[in-house]
Structure 1
Amino acid sequence: MGKVIGFELNSQHPEKEAEFYHNVFGWEVAEPHWGFRDVTALEGGINGGISEGPSDYPHGTRILIEVSSIDQTIEKAKDSGAMVLREKMEFDDFYLAYLVDPAGLGIGLKENK
């Protein structure tokens, strides 16, 4: 595991972002679900999403990395200087956590159930 499986674009104006990426690149942007708009990139690109960024990550791009164990990955990341923004969260089919690497770049971790 450890492969990049998606991206998130965080913005304080996600509706404007959705319109921009649809108009310019032809991305299919779904209606919001949990405040997250699924994005389907065309021609075999990596899919992702657009959401309203929280106060601690109001705007920017974050890659999403699939891992076999969020708990183990968080511990390794913290030992290597990462900061946890959102502890492990449970959704219907997966778990999700958000970190900031030692250089300040945001990453998401996803573990399928």
Structure 2
Amino acid sequence: MGKVIGFEISSQQPEKAAAFYTEVFGWEVSEPHWDYRSVHYQTAEQNVLIGGISKGPSDFPHGTRIQIQVDSLDEIIGKAIEHGAMILREKMEFEDFYMTYIVDPTGVCLGLIEMKSL
């Protein structure tokens, strides 16, 4: 089962967005890496919020996406297309994971993540 592991806020002004969420909600926002600023927030109860703020691409400039971890991107992408989704970004490789963006049949964009085996 895919589990929600984070979120990503897209903005054409990521610096301004980072300042807003830091000042208003107390989020810790890192310096940008690949136009992505990691967000980490932990409460006294040890609940952790993990996500990021990025400069949105021209075809998806604003909005918020949840990120869902899956066992196999290829399998889930196939199922998603079969059920009406569109691929917004092909499978991308990062140091510890693979990622793709899809748009569900209702227009909601999701990030899908497959962790690399260590």
Q: Give the TM-score normalised by the residue count of structure 2.
A: 0.93
Tell me which amino acid in the other structure corresponds to 2:103. V
Q: 1:42, CA displacement in angstroms?
A: 2.8
Structure 2 gaps of 5+ residues are none
1:32 paired with 2:40, answer no
Q: Report if aligned partners of 1:3, 1:66 keep a CA contact under 8 Å in 2.
A: yes
Q: 1:92, CA displacement in angstroms?
A: 0.9
Which residue in 2 is equivalent to 1:80?
Answer: 83
1:108 paired with 2:111, answer yes
Tell me which amino acid in the other structure corresponds to 1:65. I
Tell me, in whole angstroms, the C-alpha distance in 2 between the residues paired with 1:46 and 1:28: 10
Which residue in 1 is equivalent to 2:97?
Answer: 94
Identity %: 63
Q: Report if aligned partners of 1:7, 1:61 keep a CA contact under 8 Å in 2.
A: yes
Structure 1 gaps of 5+ residues are none
Which residue in 1 is equivalent to 2:10?
Answer: 10
Q: 1:31, CA displacement in angstroms?
A: 0.2
Tell me which amino acid in the other structure corresponds to 2:71. S
> Over aligned residues, Cα RMSD in angstroms?
0.8
Tell me which amino acid in the other structure corresponds to 1:108. G
Which residue in 1 is equivalent to 2:61?
Answer: 58
Tell me, in whole angstroms, the C-alpha distance in 1 between the residues paired with 2:42 and 2:25: 8
Q: 1:45, CA displacement in angstroms?
A: 3.6
Q: 1:39, CA displacement in angstroms?
A: 0.1
Q: Kindly name which structure, 1 or 2, has the bigger radius of gyration based on alpha carbons.
A: 2
Q: Report if aligned partners of 1:10, 1:52 keep a CA contact under 8 Å in 2.
A: yes
